[in-house]
Amino acid sequence: MSVRRLAAESIQPKDFAFTAENTDWAKGQIAKYPPGRQASAVIPLLWKAQEQAGGWTPRKAIEEVAAMLDMPFIRVMEIATFYTMFNLSPVGRHHVQLCGTVPCHVCGAIELKAVCEQRIGPQGTVSAGGKFSWIEVECLGACCNAPMVQIGYDYYEDLTPENFGKLLDDLAAGRPVKTGSQTGRSGSEPQGGGATLTDAALFDGSQIGAWKKRFAEEAMKLVGEPVQEKPAAAAPAASSGPAVPGAGGSVHVPQPAAPKDLPVAPAGSAIANAVPADEPGADHAPGDSSGAHAEHEAVARREEAEIAEKLAALPKDATALDKANAVGEKPKGLETARGDAADNLQRIKGVGKVNEGRLHDLGIFHFDQIAHWTRAEIRWVGTYLAFPGRIDRENWVGQATILAAGGDIGKKPGEPHPERH
């Protein structure tokens, strides 16, 4: 990395102060960080100072930022001289950053450098009239469309000496210019046009995304015509058990005894309707038959749509807590686990190490806490953890209910089977 020094004192401005508008903006950036961490705003403030100063960062601007953040001048100086995005000397109105890394170099960047030297002058100087300056930079990340330059905030790709010269002419005359590829290439596709994903059916909704239309139609049908639950099949005789195929016919397999001393839950509650993971219907909401499950899915989708509508009405900088409070109610948590022994929440399929830690942060340490979540609390937690609907789809409440009662929902892949007591 080359040495970077401030511009000569003779061209440095005598003072610098943020405009009232930029001062308010800077205060907003500083407020994003907790007390004692205001120095984290140094790069945004230096960038705004460079914008205001006409594209470069004078010494007085560095001093102003240091004063606003209560930082030693040398610390801000270190940052301004380290990051090459800060221009330490004046630049033209159109500052050309020409990529000279290998892909651009072999595709014609040398010829573009010659154009810059001829039209603008030596690297690092400003053209007569102050319209242009240029500098060679490292990779700008558009290698597939090499050679390319960045002018201001825009990329100009697939350049030749001819179209690059025309681009400079248009900028000098104030005419509109085309950003991106200068040869009509779309995105980063191969020269000559795309060779894959050319089937129009991939983009008209008939294949990809067709499920959205189907789900919407099913939801409307369920709203207009309630699904009739199929009658339950007749219970098998007490003496009959699951049959195991064999030469002599069926073989009676003893059934496991029901867990003792299970807590009694109100009829119709999520706890009462819980289904073990290895029983039919475990992939659905607790207690659903196939028809009721479809209705449950429609209700869940409507609820997710309501949540999305409420979240859309919030400010863009709304926090996770703001979003959760807008759609639900925070469940009551514990300060610490009962008896300093938290349940292994990772036994719930869908809860990994990270989510277990986040649940602990909310004061959720035990299966029975999750088992008693209300709809409002499920919405709150799902939104706070940034996965609305997942708690229902993975049936956390049903699983937690079984685990809280001492039951077993089976094991996760690669997980040793929990000991039964």
Which amino acid is present at 214?
A: R
**Domain residue extents for the chain:** 9-82, 94-181, 290-404
Q: What number is the average pLDDT over the span 165-190?
A: 90
Tokens 């995304």 appear where? 209
Cα 378 to chain centroid, rounded: 22
Predicted pLDDT of residue 198: 79
Report yes or no: 136 and 116 within 8 Å, Cβ to Cβ: no
Report yes or no: 58 and 13 within 8 Å, Cβ to Cβ: yes
User: What sign for the dihedral angle of Cα 161, 163, 169, 172?
Assistant: negative
CB atoms within 10 A of CB 217: 10
By C-alpha distance, which of 354, 368, 358, 357 is closest to 400? Answer: 368
Backbone angles phi, psi at 142, to 5 degrees: -125, 45
Helix (H), strand (E) at residue 166: helix 161-173
Q: What number is the average pLDDT over the span 41-48?
A: 97
CB atoms within 10 A of CB 367: 24
Tokens for 333, please give them.
């948590």
SS3 335: coil
**DSSP secondary structure letter of residue 238:** T
Q: What number is the average pLDDT over the span 409-413?
A: 63
Predicted pLDDT of residue 45: 97
Predicted pLDDT of residue 134: 95
Helix (H), strand (E) at residue 136: strand 132-137
Tokens for 274, please give them.
């819980």
Domain 94-181: state its class: alpha beta
As beta bridge partners, residue 136 has 98
pLDDT confidence bin for 173, thresholds 50/70/90 = very high
Q: What number is the average pLDDT over the span 249-277?
A: 42
By C-alpha distance, which of 386, 398, 374, 265 is closest to 323? Answer: 386
By C-alpha distance, which of 353, 356, 351 is closest to 393? Answer: 351
Domain 9-82 in CATH 1.10.10.1590? The answer is yes
Tokens 């001093």 appear where? 63
- Stated pTM of the model: 0.48
Q: What is the pLDDT of residues 360-383, one digit of tens each?
A: 999 999 999 999 999 999 999 999
Predicted pLDDT of residue 211: 67
- In this structure, the dihedral spanned by the alpha carbons of residues 345, 351, 353 and 355, taken in order and rounded to 10 degrees, is -100
Tokens for 230, please give them.
């199929």
d(CA 330, CA 326): 10
Which amino acid is present at 61?
A: A
* 129 has a pLDDT exceeding 90: no
Backbone angles phi, psi at 17, to 5 degrees: -145, 140
SS3 84: coil
Predicted pLDDT of residue 301: 75
Q: State the number of CA atoms in the 13 A half-sphere of 334 facing the CB.
A: 16
Q: What is the pLDDT of residues 211-259, one digit of tens each?
A: 666 667 766 666 555 444 444 444 444 444 444 444 444 444 344 444 4
Query: b/e map of 86-101 (b: 16 or more CB within 10 Å)?
Result: bbbbbbbbbbbbbbbb
